[in-house]
A and B are shown apart, each in its own frame.
Chain A
């Protein structure tokens, strides 16, 4: 009866970091796939924030508590320490002020989980190197002029931002093209080269 649901591999990595029964806010929760999983399988008190009306409608229609809004405007309305975990999945690179967002995440959550496409991946580097054009591939499917992504970063860049903001990195995971998870800390150079995506668990120092 109680089959574990299967979700996208990067979402699974995030889900595995979440403690059962905790209070979770998923910022940019899309159609609610991860949030639904966390509510069903980890019994979290889940909330979501999503900008697209279609996404929000799907979430609410499946019984999730999701607010239609813009992270950069609306995170400011949440009280301090309202959540145990705040998730920002594949959204950081699409914000105007990523540093401000990270600050907000850690204001309203005890811990934050941030995932993003790694612009330092070897394919991205070689695409730019050999073609001389902005990379387009399956994790970065947009042209430069119609991309919602405005602030790309590499795994190294994000670590540098955390250092600058005095934020502690609790866990850091790189996902390669096959979805295999690698620990970043022990082999940063390779993680930054081989990781298509990165997942960071961070908290205030």
Chain B
């Protein structure tokens, strides 16, 4: 099997420093689209120690552009993991108490099979030949990972944004394998507005000539401009207007006056351009298409409750803690209330906190004392009931 030398998909290679397991070995995994996936890699990291009766495992599910490096140092960026505020000794997701697993999602680009992986049938990257995946498929793969690790029940599944969708999917599809569930800043379905924003991103990527109809890896190219625009558009929805105004306002970037041109006169332009261009270095364009598509297709009530969200959680014994952020306009507090009402309708054990903050959707990745206290308190309470404390 030969591949071109200029293929720059390091995280998909075997040399990339991450834990890796091959799933679908005995029997292939059937995807929602009908395709079977066999012998595929899933990359993951773990933090903390699994206890003797394997009752202290927490699955942390990552968001669209996240990865398995939730804590520690991300070897690709050299920066701390995306949730080091929450995961660590003495932190709410305490590595001294819990065994934390975080895996790269199906369709991702950090070691789990995705469109940048090599299709064994052709010896070339999958590109758009990769089957379209769903949130349910991502969770199916995580279930296989847990089977590999010999973990029957999760003490908790915790995730923000798209990670929250996976957490909800776990609760609805595998209620017997989850003790508690924390969906954060998320929604039980993608709204027209959510789909619209991600469609802008996908169109930006596909309009870039360097996308090469999805075959850019073989061509030794990268749709930099398209991916950057996709990231910029999405990033705006992750911040509140208040935060944007406070952080940038109408301030100019390294200049006294506007230049009457189209350079980045304003700080916000410069910031977004930086966000866009640095994102290109760590994220695969086709992965962005597939993973955003998975979110668009997500509709928990339709999949598990015949259109009724409460029915998706019928007779659940899981302890839920739903958390939203008051200034989040990507997934609104109202989206979380819809989840809470569904759970309430199912007489589920649910807590719900709308954290008052001006930091928007991104708040779930930031230091927010109230958020930290609530998550820590909920987990402590659940741990007492689980006999872990």
A contact residues vs B (CB 8 Å cutoff): 45, 47, 53, 56-57, 59-69, 74, 77-79, 82
Cβ contact within 8 Å between A63 and B341: no
Per DSSP, chain A at the interface is mixed
Q: Complex Cα distance A69/B336, Å?
A: 12
Q: Which residues of A contact B176 (CB under 8 A)?
A: none
Which residue from chain A places its CB closest to the CB of B326 in the assembled complex?
A53
CB distance from A79 to the nearest CB of B (A): 6
A-contact 0/1 string along B339-362, CB 8 Å cutoff: 011001111011111111000000
Q: A66 to B377, alpha carbons, bound, how many Å? A: 12
Contact B351 A62 (CB under 8 A): no
Residue contact A77 to B377, C-beta cutoff 8 Å = no
Is B378 part of the binding interface, using a Cβ–Cβ cutoff of 8 Å?
A: yes
A79 with B347, Cβ < 8 A, contacts A63-B384, A68-B352 known: yes
CB closest residue in chain A, given B378: A60
CB neighbours (8 Å) of A64 from chain B are 351, 381
Residues of A within 8 A of B337 (CB): 69
Tell me whether B350 and A67 are in contact (CB under 8 A): yes
The answer on a CB contact under 8 Å between B345 and A61 is no
- Are B341 and A57 neighbours in the complex by a CB distance under 8 Å? no
- Stretch of B48-56, B267-275, B368-376 lying at the A interface: B368-376
CB within 8 Å for A65 and B377 given contacts A53-B354, A57-B370, A74-B341: no
Assess the A77–B381 pair: CB atoms within 8 A: no
15 A-B residue pairs with CB within 8 Å: A45-B349, A57-B374, A59-B351, A60-B321, A61-B377, A63-B377, A64-B351, A65-B349, A66-B351, A67-B340, A67-B352, A69-B337, A74-B344, A77-B344, A82-B347
Min Cβ gap A36→B in Å is: 10
A202 vs chain B, min Cβ distance (A): 22
B231 at the interface (CB under 8 A from A): no
Q: Are A53 and B351 in touch, CB under 8 angstroms?
A: no
B356 contacts A53, C-beta separation under 8 Å: yes
> A53's closest neighbor in chain B, by CB?
B356
- A62 → chain B closest CB, angstroms: 6
A68 & B354 in contact (Cβ 8 Å cutoff): yes
A69 lies within 8 A of B373 (CB): no
In the A-B complex, list the 9 residue pairs whose CB atoms are closest, starting with the nearest: A63-B381, A61-B377, A67-B352, A77-B341, A82-B347, A77-B344, A61-B373, A60-B351, A60-B374
B376→A61 contact, CB < 8 A: yes
* Nearest chain B residue, comparing its CB with the CB of A67: B352
Shortest Cβ distance from A79 into B: residue: B347
CB-defined contacts of A47 to chain B, threshold 8 Å: 349-350
Report the tally of A-B residue pairs with Cβ distances under 8 A.
Answer: 67
Binding site for A on B (CB under 8 A): 310, 319, 321, 337, 340-341, 344-347, 349-356, 370, 373-374, 376-378, 380-382, 384
- Indicate if the CB atoms of B353 and A57 lie closer than 8 Å: yes
Are A65 and B319 within 8 A (Cβ)?
yes
A78 with B345: in contact, given A63-B384, A69-B340 (CB under 8 Å)?
yes
Given contacts A63-B380, A69-B340, A74-B344, contact A57 B349 (CB under 8 A): no
B residues less than 8 Å from A65 (CB atoms): 319, 349-351
Residue from A45, A63, A78 in contact with B378 in the complex, judged by beta carbons closer than 8 Å = A63
Cα separation A78 to B356 with both chains bound (whole Å): 25
Q: From the candidates A60, A62, A63, name the one contacting B353 in the complex (CB within 8 A).
A: A60
Min CB–CB distance A28 → chain B (angstroms) = 15
- State how many angstroms separate the Cβ of B285 from the closest Cβ of chain A: 39
Q: Which residue of B lies closest to A66 (CB)?
A: B351
Partner of A53, one of B340, B344, B353: B353
Q: Are A77 and B345 in contact (CB under 8 A)?
A: yes
Please give, as numbers and ranges, the residues of chain A lying within 8 Å of B349 by CB-CB distance.
45, 47, 65
Taking A56-B351, A63-B378 as known contacts, 13 extra A-B pairs with beta carbons closer than 8 A to each other, sorted by chain A number, are A53-B353, A53-B355, A60-B321, A60-B374, A61-B374, A61-B378, A62-B381, A65-B351, A67-B351, A68-B354, A74-B341, A79-B345, A82-B347
CB-defined contacts of B355 to chain A, threshold 8 Å: 53, 57
CA distance A133 to B354 in the complex (A): 39
Q: Which residue of A lies closest to B370 (CB)?
A: A57
**Given A57-B370, A60-B377, A62-B377, are A67 and B354 neighbors across the interface (CB < 8 Å)?**
no
In the complex, chain A residues whose CB is within 8 Å of the CB of B321: 60
Flag if B353 contacts A68 (CB, 8 Å).
yes
From B372, which residue of chain A is reached at the shortest CB distance? A61
CA gap between A157 and B319 in the complex, in Å = 40
Q: Using Cβ atoms and an 8 Å threshold, which residues of chain B touch A59?
A: 351
Q: CB-CB < 8 A to B374: which residues of A?
A: 57, 60-61
CB proximity of A23 to chain B, nearest CB, Å: 9
Residues of B within 8 A of A53 (CB): 353-356
Q: How far is the CA of A82 from the CA of B315 in the complex (A)?
A: 12
Residue of A with least CB distance to B373: A61
Chain B residues within 8 Å of A67, by CB: 340, 344, 350-352
